[in-house]
Chain A
Amino acid sequence: MIWTKLAIVLFFFVTFVVLVRKRLLNIDLSFPWFLSLVIVAIGSTSPLFIQGTAKLFGIVYAPLVVILLVLFIYLGLITVLGIYITELRRRQILIVRKLAQYDLDKQVNCERNESG
């Protein structure tokens, strides 16, 4: 049993290292999701937290709330991963940088024309 637990932890650690190494896990965007995971992990050890959250969401079978919360967090993490795998943000930033250079180049040319 202990080996299964260790293998799961090791699998997640290696996945995490590879994602970070390949810059697929953005540090800024992934922060709230990891923080939520830690909060849910700590909270799920308390029956008060589980029952309170289940009541808040109107879930009859209380333990289900932990599964639903974790699924929601994973969905967020997958979205963050999607943004980086498809290079959406990188492309958006590149366009903004190009437009900014175009704008600044125009100002440089104007200045050069004015100074003769």
Chain B
Amino acid sequence: MESKVLIFLPTYNDYEVLNEIVCDIKQTLPLCDVVIVDDGSMVLFDAPREVFYVRLPFNLGLGVATHVAMDFALRHGYEYLIRMDADGQHSASYLSTILENLAAGNNIVVGTRTNRHKEKGGKNIFKKLVQYYFYVLAKITTSREIPTDLNSGFIGFDNRAVHVLNDLELDRFPEPQIVLYGAYLGLKIGEVDVLQQPRTRGVSTVVFSHAFRLVYRFTMYNFIIWTRKRLL
């Protein structure tokens, strides 16, 4: 099964731990393939020989990087595609669990970060509120059970999910869009608990000011689905 697995690492100016992540992945799943999609970083990266590496000419967002990985998975007949973050926050030890869940019949498996709200403070309360809003809104729109962590970047797809999602137009931060549209389009979505490692280098791409944009974007996705289902 491993030889039909493609691990996708999207990156943007985040190279410090990429080699370590690739080593971890190769130790966990020695037969899988790894593709690094560089979303137009400022610095050039000398990719290890055992991975496929492509650099987009300019920054187009995570959605386009995901499409590139999906195109590659479809063209070369990979059975499963798993996306991990390139900042080292996702441990390769969970790859097997995600694969088992995909093999059990799920089309999409989300790695729900069980320790994502451990830190204290006003920022965390705000994050919790945003996440809860996402969850409730998505549940109402899709009328089905969905994963609790809609912003997780640790996601596995089977071939069918890749086919279905690659026909959509994924946006700059596509994680909630993927889960929401996946649920709407009738894909089977599972979730596994994962522990997110603390960030040691770099900064999050999602900062406080992005929260308003995320809420707007997610509300619009729900609005689009709602109009498709009921209005037009």
Query: Using a CB–CB distance below 8 Å, which chain A residues touch chain B?
Result: 17-18, 20-21, 23, 27-28, 31, 34-35, 90, 93, 96-97, 99-101, 103-105, 107-108
Contact of A104 among B72, B213, B220, B228 (CB under 8 A): B72
Inter-chain contact A21/B228, CB cutoff 8 Å: yes
Inter-chain contact B64/A97, CB cutoff 8 Å: yes
Question: Would you list which residues of chain B between 14 and 55 have a CB under 8 Å from chain A?
Answer: 35, 37, 52-54
Inter-chain contact A107/B53, CB cutoff 8 Å: yes
Contact of B64 among A96, A107, A108 (CB under 8 A): A96
Question: Would you list which residues of chain B between 181 and 232 have a CB under 8 Å from chain A?
Answer: 212-213, 216-217, 220-221, 223-224, 227-228, 231-232
| In the assembled complex, B57 has its CB within 8 A of some CB on chain A | yes
Contacts of B169 in A (CB 8 A): 23, 90
Inter-chain contact B53/A17, CB cutoff 8 Å: no
Contact of B68 among A18, A34, A100, A105 (CB under 8 A): A100
| In the assembled complex, B103 has its CB within 8 A of some CB on chain A | no
SS class of chain A's interface: helix, strand, loop or mixed? Answer: helix
Inter-chain contact A20/B224, CB cutoff 8 Å: yes
Q: Kindly count the residue-residue contacts between A and B in the assembled complex, taking CB atoms under 8 Å apart.
A: 66
Interface residues of B toward A: which range? 20 to 34
SS class of chain B's interface: helix, strand, loop or mixed? Answer: helix
| In the assembled complex, B85 has its CB within 8 A of some CB on chain A | no
Contacts of A104 in B (CB 8 A): 35, 52, 54, 68, 72
Inter-chain contact A31/B53, CB cutoff 8 Å: no
Inter-chain contact B71/A101, CB cutoff 8 Å: yes
Inter-chain contact A93/B60, CB cutoff 8 Å: yes
Query: Using a CB–CB distance below 8 Å, which chain B residues touch chain A?
Result: 35, 37, 52-54, 56-57, 60-61, 64, 67-68, 71-72, 75-76, 169, 171-172, 212-213, 216-217, 220-221, 223-224, 227-228, 231-232
Contacts of B217 in A (CB 8 A): 27-28, 31
Inter-chain contact B171/A27, CB cutoff 8 Å: yes
Contact of B54 among A17, A18, A90, A100 (CB under 8 A): A100
Cα distance A28–B214 when bound, in Å?
Answer: 9
Residue in A20, A101, A104 with the greatest tally of chain B CB atoms within 10 Å: A104
Minimum CB distance partner of B49 in chain A: A111
Contacts of A107 in B (CB 8 A): 52-53
Inter-chain contact B172/A28, CB cutoff 8 Å: yes
B227 CB, nearest partner CB in chain A, Å: 5
Minimum CB distance partner of A25 in chain B: B220
Cα distance A28–B56 when bound, in Å?
Answer: 20
Contacts of A99 in B (CB 8 A): 57
Contact of A97 among B68, B76, B212 (CB under 8 A): B68
